[in-house]
Amino acid sequence: MERAGQPLMTTPRRLLGLVALAGLPLAVLGVFFVLPVSGMVARGFVTDGDLDVGGVLEVLTRARTGRVLWFTVWSSAVATVLAVVLGLPAAYALHRLRWPGRRAVRAALLVPFVLPTVVVGVAFRQLLGESGPVVALTGGRVDLDGTAAGIVAGLVFFNVAVVIRGVGAAWEGLDARPGEAAAALGASPAQVFRTVTWPMLRPAVVSSASVVFLFCATAFGVVLTLGGLRYSSVETEIYLLTTELLDLQAAAALSVLQLVAVVALLVVAGRLRAVPDPTLARSTARPHRPRRSDVPQLVATALLLVLVAAPVATLVVGSLRVDGAWSLAYYRALGGGAELQALPVPVTGALVTSLRTAVDATWMALLLGGLIAVVLTRRSRSRSERRVRSVLDGLFMLPLGVSAVTLGFGFFITLDSPPLDLRESPVLVPLAQALVAMPLVVRTLVPVLAGVDDRQRQAAASLGAGPLRAMATADLPVVWRPLLAASGFAFAISLGEFGATSFLARPSDPTLPVLIFRLIGRPGELSYGTALAASVVLAATTAVVVLAVERLRVPSLGAF
């Protein structure tokens, strides 16, 4: 009965085990995140060898800093609310209802999330601009180009998928019976939602909303392209201050501010998200056929689909129109050609690089995210252990809240001396992308692993299974689909990642988003059209990956 004594293991030993499991992810996070970011921030705080906190504080009192901060908070908050309002009905229609084509629609709605922002920004501007269809159709009454509303629309476009995924997964796992019972007792659908469904759904909504807010507050390409010049967010301001003005003090001040805000947000979200016992709330209801009362949700989903499809359609149509006629010329140019000789590789070559990089980023994100998820979901036996876990939880979400510029510059100033001279390593790009995808992997796996009753592992252990074997018997059957789903998600994110990649990729070996950016950065219709065609290919590849994941019928994907 020695093994049965395992659960009674002393707290220090358990803590040690926890740290051992967390060791690899912690080391990676330390070297590739904490070190570069703190290196950059330190540069800002130290002037001529002396710590200059006053100078940093002065930056925070500048009028412009206030404006930038206010705009960031305001636009992110509005975009988050809109994403939730638009995403909730769609989450319901796509996860609780059964109708033909819903998997395809789910996949389609995730595509924007991984498109390169620069291209979407340009497509968005084309859609909303002076000569675009929106202005034409509304007789100029709706002119969002260069307005705050335009930015918010862009942010919603990119992030509504997060809400659909996160809330949809939770909704799928809700027990339908309490609601049905309430309805049988005469509650109206609105009453059922308010009194039964909402309390159970709230943690998932809060969780998704906090991630959306994070993404919005740190969005770079969207604000840069859609914002005109009136608007700047903390993220674009850090970029401007670092690259153009070399005002490191101000950049560091804003970076710290951003980090503090993100930590605060994570703490608040963690509190709101907390569910007493996740094992209790889980069961899988079969989606049902739409009823008459589901019509509003279906209509709302259709509307959302139109909103998301419009910019994508602009891309597709643009890629197929040559000199006012339909043509596949831009797609033929993807394989290279005399006119596009100034590209280091043809688009197809960049796609291969992207796919290969994504494979690496995916396994790295899975390895790191998987370890963290395991660490986070073991039952805590003491208060200190729980505290360690919650700190770790927050720590691994941090990469979501730091500017790519800060990270990119940080890489170059901190990883520069021999034991850690990694500036030339081909591992940098996939690793940076893995860091971006990792929090989402963690958020996908944690709810599933948390749902595994610890008693199953104990039972396996008491029957003589070692820790690994116990995990394989108790966890693997539940977690393998979400694991595959998370890999699809990480793969898709890596395919579209632009910010960090543009800093770290070798010029002779660009990924597809980097190459698209170069194409769009030169005059001539052929380059522009080819950039659009390449974006369509990127979007289609992503959609295929996501659709494959959908085929796995993973019950809970992306429950952040």
Partner 1 sequence: MRMHIHPTRTAVAAVLALAVSGCSLVGTGDDESASDPAGGGDEAGGTVVLVTHDSFYLPEELVADFERESGYDLEQRAGGDAGALTSQLVLNTDSPIGDVAFGVDNTFGSRALEADVFEPTDLETPAGVEENALPGDDEGALVAVDTGNVCVNVDTTWFAERDLDAPETLDDLTDPAYEGLFVTPGATTSSPGFAFLLTTIAAYGDDWQDYWEDLLDNDAKVVKGWEDAYQVDFTQGGGKGDRPVVTSYDSSPAFTVDGEGGTTTRALLDTCYEQVEYAGVLRGADNPEGARAVVEWLVSPAVQEALPSSMYVYPAVEGTELPAEWADLTERPSDPWSVDPDEIDANRDEWLQEWNELVSR
- For partner 1, the closer of residues 393 and 475 by Cβ is 475
What does the alpha-carbon distance between residue 266 and residue 442 come to, in Å, rounded to a whole number? Answer: 14
Q: Which of 15, 478, 547, 548 binds partner 1 (CB under 8 A)?
A: 478
Which residues in the 159-198 window bind partner 1 by CB under 8 A? none
User: Diameter of the chain by CA atoms?
Assistant: 80
Length of the chain: 560
242 binds partner 1 (CB under 8 A): yes
Distances (CA, A) of 207 to 240, 243, 266: 31, 34, 9
Give the sign of the dihedral formed by CA 391, CA 220, CA 110, CA 95.
positive
Residues 6 or more apart whose Cβ sits within 8 Å of residue 106: 94, 164, 168, 546, 550
Q: Which of 106, 125, 165, 443 binds partner 1 (CB under 8 A)?
A: 125
Tell me the backbone φ, ψ of residue 10, rounded to 5 degrees. -70, 155
In whole angstroms, how close is the CB of 505 to partner 1 at the nearest point? 6
138 binds partner 1 (CB under 8 A): no
369 binds partner 1 (CB under 8 A): no
Q: Which of 101, 190, 326, 508 binds partner 1 (CB under 8 A)?
A: 508
95 binds partner 1 (CB under 8 A): no
What does the alpha-carbon distance between residue 97 and residue 550 come to, in Å, rounded to a whole number? Answer: 15
Q: Which of 480, 540, 544, 551 binds partner 1 (CB under 8 A)?
A: 480
Which residues in the 339-358 window bind partner 1 by CB under 8 A? 341-344, 353, 355-357
Tell me the backbone φ, ψ of residue 501, rounded to 5 degrees. -60, -40
Total of residues contacting partner 1 (CB under 8 A): 76
Q: Which one of 77-85, 261-269, 444-452, 503-511 is the stretch in contact with partner 1 (CB under 8 A)?
A: 503-511
In whole angstroms, how close is the CB of 551 to partner 1 at the nearest point? 13
Q: Which of 388, 271, 350, 293 is nearest to 12 (CA)?
A: 388
Q: Which of 154, 408, 451, 488 binds partner 1 (CB under 8 A)?
A: 408
In whole angstroms, how close is the CB of 60 to partner 1 at the nearest point? 17
What does the alpha-carbon distance between residue 532 and residue 481 come to, in Å, rounded to a whole number? Answer: 34
Q: Which residues of 404-423 are buried (b: 16+ CB within 10 A; e: fewer)?
A: bbbbbbbbeebbeeeeeeee
In whole angstroms, how close is the CB of 302 to partner 1 at the nearest point? 28
Which residues in the 483-502 window bind partner 1 by CB under 8 A? 484, 502
In whole angstroms, how close is the CB of 484 to partner 1 at the nearest point? 7
245 binds partner 1 (CB under 8 A): yes
Which residues in the 17-46 window bind partner 1 by CB under 8 A? 43
What does the alpha-carbon distance between residue 534 and residue 489 come to, in Å, rounded to a whole number? Answer: 21
Q: Which of 288, 332, 386, 506 binds partner 1 (CB under 8 A)?
A: 506
Q: Which of 174, 265, 486, 514 binds partner 1 (CB under 8 A)?
A: 514
In whole angstroms, how close is the CB of 101 to partner 1 at the nearest point? 21
524 binds partner 1 (CB under 8 A): yes
Q: Which of 448, 442, 446, 408 is nearest to 428 (CA)?
A: 408
